[in-house]
Structure 1
Amino acid sequence: MQANQNLKAIGIGVVASVFFCSTYVMNSFISVGSGHWAWTVGLRTFLMLVILLGILQYKNQLKPLLCILKEQPKVWVFWGSVWFGLVYVLLTAAASFGPGWLIAGVFQFTIVAGILLSPFLYKDKRAKIPVRALLLSVLILIGIGLMQWSQRKGIYTDAQLLSCIILVLLSAIIWPLASRKLLLFVEEQDYQLNAMQRVAGTAIGSMPVIFLLMVYGYSESGIPGTSHILSILVITISSGVIGTILFFKAMHLAQNDSGALAAVEATQSVEILATVIGEVLLLGIAWPSATGNIGMLLITGGLILYSIPAKKKALRTAVKV
């Protein structure tokens, strides 16, 4: 049963990553159009929360969530501010210094970061670092490195690329920390929350920081333009609502297996391929060089190797049944 769940979690993670890529593509578009980053981060989360609250109210799942949030609001405010505030501020700011596909590539450091954080977060079998998962993550990172190397003579300066990489690396460490800590908190408190409720609860917790960001954005650039708002709406629905909920669902299915958790986080490598395609089609950027293509192949190969053991176990289970 767990093997089937792990395979399903990996599949859901892949789909979530395709939707996540809209963040990188649209951030690049907004950056070119001079949209202010504070509005991008603030409106993205605010619009996402409005949509989620409407859905939860329709499904009669909002009241139970609000009751849970009242019990320990500081936890939700802290991790919400980190996840929907700090992480997205760093990613949005990075869009001013490098192309979206490069940001998506650097962000895959979250794969290794999530694995290395496990001993500091868990006290059960999940605290063990799965060697195979770590090795495959390194393979994926080599592919990422090749993609970045192919960009070294592009339109961005070395200083811009360095700033981009530093900002994204910070977000790549904070992302799995916030994700796993919040999931662990919900587990320890035995809260019966589905993926959508957890996302909405985290977004509600981030509202103090989000409102401050929007006030800052208004003071710097006034009300955002129509194209800026439409771009944020695309990010909100695709990445903020669909992608995040699917990713939470995948993490929930794999939460009892550290190797499966690492595999789910590794599915984010698909974001690179999807982002490259999106930027080529929508923004007219050049396709990466041969070195970049080799990097993408290594990333895809690493992801496939991640899923093979779970697939074999699932097939054996199906045969026995």
Structure 2
Amino acid sequence: MQANQKIKAIGIGLLASFFFCSTYVMNSFISAGNGHWAWTVSLRTLIMLIILLVILHFKQQLKPLLHVLKKQPGVWLFWGSIWFGVVYALLTAAAEFGPGWLIAGVFQFTIVAGILLSPFLYKDGRAKIPVRALLLSFLILVGIALMQWSQRNGSYTDAQLISCIILVLLAAIVWPLSNRKLMLFIEEHDHKISAMQRVTGTAIGSLPAIVLLMGYGYSEAGLPGEQQLLATSVISICSGVIGCVLFFKATDMVRSDSAALAAVEATQSVEILATVAGEVLLLGIAWPNLYGNIGMLLIMGGLILYSIPVRRKVLSAVR
């Protein structure tokens, strides 16, 4: 794999992270307005799916995708329900118990989880855990911990924060598991589909779970309000469509290189920075103190260290 392709994948992953942060900021906004989490999850996926179906129709990529889905619908139903059902239900429910910056921070455990899951998912060279990538991932997590420590005197109780952390940790493990398993399935069956088609197929597979969530949301809180509809639309477009497509594209580009794949997944660390900035501007929270700023520097330092070997390869090729 060419070094410049790895750098490009990391850059796309970073861009995706900025769009992903809308999930945490808008979830906090919805929670503050007493919007039910089940409606947030279901509407987010449904709106996103409608947009993607329209785009694929005009690109003449919808029929090929449906042909792939018909071959083994059970796989898409299962992982779709996990990806857009379980993962986002956990993240959205967590917004009831903690602020967006905490959720974005704890979710970065997905970086380490993705690396540790590799031996259980692959049977080739990708099964090896890259020690350097693992160490740098822990460096990033130390930075995240410092950012969380800087915000320890919040308005939530200890019990609420513990519940929040448990929900997000579960999501952080399931996220890379579902993403890598589906990529592996597509690879093994040699399905020629784009990142956008993969997102759409996963969303289609989640529809049974989404319908159940909509029924639960209606039984608990009735129909969603206009504010929740608007906020979930923002999440659907920014995180669901743009963020997911960019991130899937980045992981597809380096799926055969476990170290590069870990580096792309590590770009999600930037979500915490973008989320804090978004909550400061939109929700009026205080910017992190000295500990928080040190944490930010550690996160950015970890990402820079990830890219050093790749940059060296590029420079050597140029010379």
What letter matches 2:33 in structure 1? G
Assess if the C-alpha contact under 8 Å between 1:7 and 1:314 holds in 2. Answer: no
TM-score norm. by structure 2 comes to 0.98
How do residues 150-161 of structure 1 correspond to structure 2 at under 5 angstroms?
A: 150-161=150-161
- Show the counterpart of 1:220: 220
How do residues 265-304 of structure 1 correspond to structure 2 at under 5 angstroms?
A: 265-304=265-304
What letter matches 2:136 in structure 1? L
The secondary structure found in structure 2 opposite 1:239 is helix
The secondary structure found in structure 1 opposite 2:54 is helix
- Show the counterpart of 1:135: 135
Task: Tell me by how many angstroms 1:315 deviates.
Answer: 2.8
- Show the counterpart of 1:116: 116
**2:61 is the counterpart of 1:61:** yes
Q: Distance in 2 between matches of 1:313 and 1:231?
A: 43
**2:4 is the counterpart of 1:4:** yes
Q: Please give the root-mean-square deviation of Cα atoms over the aligned residues, in Å.
A: 0.9
Assess if the C-alpha contact under 8 Å between 1:104 and 1:272 holds in 2. Answer: yes
Task: Tell me by how many angstroms 1:165 deviates.
Answer: 0.6
1:121-151 Cα distance to aligned partner (Å, 9 max, x none)? 0111111101110000010111111122222
4+ long deviations beyond 4 Å: none
Assess if the C-alpha contact under 8 Å between 1:80 and 1:206 holds in 2. Answer: yes
Q: Distance in 1 between matches of 2:150 and 2:158?
A: 13
Please identify, of 156-165 and 271-280, the stretch whose mean Cα deviation from structure 2 is larger: 156-165
Assess if the C-alpha contact under 8 Å between 1:152 and 1:158 holds in 2. Answer: no
Please identify, of 286-295 and 136-145, the stretch whose mean Cα deviation from structure 2 is larger: 286-295
- Show the counterpart of 1:186: 186
1:42-81 Cα distance to aligned partner (Å, 9 max, x none)? 0000110000000001011000100110110000000000
Q: Distance in 2 between matches of 1:315 and 1:124?
A: 29
- Show the counterpart of 1:253: 253
- Show the counterpart of 2:231: 231
The secondary structure found in structure 1 opposite 2:129 is coil
What letter matches 2:131 in structure 1? V
Task: Name stretches of at least 5 consecutive residues in structure 2 with no aligned partner.
Answer: none
Task: Tell me by how many angstroms 1:215 deviates.
Answer: 1.3
Task: Name stretches of at least 5 consecutive residues in structure 1 with no aligned partner.
Answer: none
Q: Distance in 1 between matches of 2:233 and 2:112?
A: 31
Assess if the C-alpha contact under 8 Å between 1:3 and 1:310 holds in 2. Answer: yes
What letter matches 1:259 in structure 2? A
The secondary structure found in structure 1 opposite 2:206 is helix
Assess if the C-alpha contact under 8 Å between 1:107 and 1:172 holds in 2. Answer: yes
Q: Distance in 2 between matches of 1:220 and 1:63?
A: 37
Q: Distance in 2 between matches of 1:32 and 1:251?
A: 34
1:211-234 Cα distance to aligned partner (Å, 9 max, x none)? 110111112111111111000000
**2:24 is the counterpart of 1:24:** yes
Of all paired residues, the percent bearing the same amino acid is 75
Q: Distance in 2 between matches of 1:38 and 1:202?
A: 19
The secondary structure found in structure 2 opposite 1:190 is coil
Q: Distance in 2 between matches of 1:140 and 1:176?
A: 17
